[in-house]
Amino acid sequence: MTFNNILYDIQSSLLTITINRPKKLNALNKETIQELHEALKLAQNNKNVKAIILTGSGDKAFVAGADISEFANFSVEEGTALAANGQEILFDFIENLSKPVIAAVNGFALGGGLELAMACHFRLASDNAKMGLPEVSLGVIPGYGGTQRLPQLVGKGRALEMIMTAGMINANQALQYGLVNEVTTQEELLPLCEKIANKICNNSPVAIASAIQAVNANFKSGVNGFQVEIEGFGHCFGTKDFTEGTSAFLEKRKANFTGE
């Protein structure tokens, strides 16, 4: 499959997806959102892919926001459909993907860009990164999960301050808030992401998928996360990866997981 707005690069078990619209600071338009969905669906179905890094091209932006020109004249119904469709095919899709997605935030992550980073399982940032949700300055609110995921990550008070001021925070503030896990130089950002991703790739894909599902369950209304964990824990006992992992431990050798 060929893409117009993203780069898709598989090296061993690691997939790097780069949003490639540098002249637009990698802004999300409908086509890019659809292409990201297709790329992630390909990765989900590729047994060789065990971890995914998501980043933006150039040295200025991860994703500087949504492409406002596409929806400036939308009606209420069109705006509602835009948010619902985007959440379904990309933002919720990433969050619930069974393979870990790491956001490499290299520069601006604003509006839909920060929402995209927050949908990933965790985030690393370059020291020039700036993050924010400026939607209220345009007379609208975040529509791709920003009002839900930001409080989960930084707490209600900080989230409301960021949303209501429409201001930006720098990488060190994001680290202090718990919005990102690590801050490093722009040159070292992808190598650090790859180092962490490769550690993930050494572990059981089945167990990782189950862990993602169990952690996400804690944030879903009406779902008992503890019960999801119990069931996931039990399910692991019936997998080949569990047999291999425990055998390797007892035999003092490195496990060779197959994801089954």
pLDDT tens-digit profile, the chain (260 residues): 789 999 999 998 999 999 999 989 999 999 999 999 999 999 999 999 999 999 999 989 999 988 888 888 899 999 999 999 999 999 999 999 999 999 999 999 999 999 999 999 999 999 999 999 999 999 999 999 999 999 999 999 999 999 999 999 999 999 999 999 999 999 999 999 999 999 999 999 999 999 999 999 998 889 999 999 999 999 999 999 999 999 999 999 998 898 88
pLDDT given at position 20:
95
Residues making up the chain, counted from first to last:
260
| φ and ψ at residue 145, rounded to 5 degrees | 95, 0
| Residue 210: CA count within 13 A, CB half-sphere | 23
pLDDT at 66 (0 to 100):
85
Query: Hey, which residues are catalytic here?
Result: 115, 135
User: Looking at residue 78, what is its pLDDT?
Assistant: 92
The DSSP letter of residue 121 is: S
Can you give the pLDDT at residue 111?
96
3-state SS, residue 133: coil
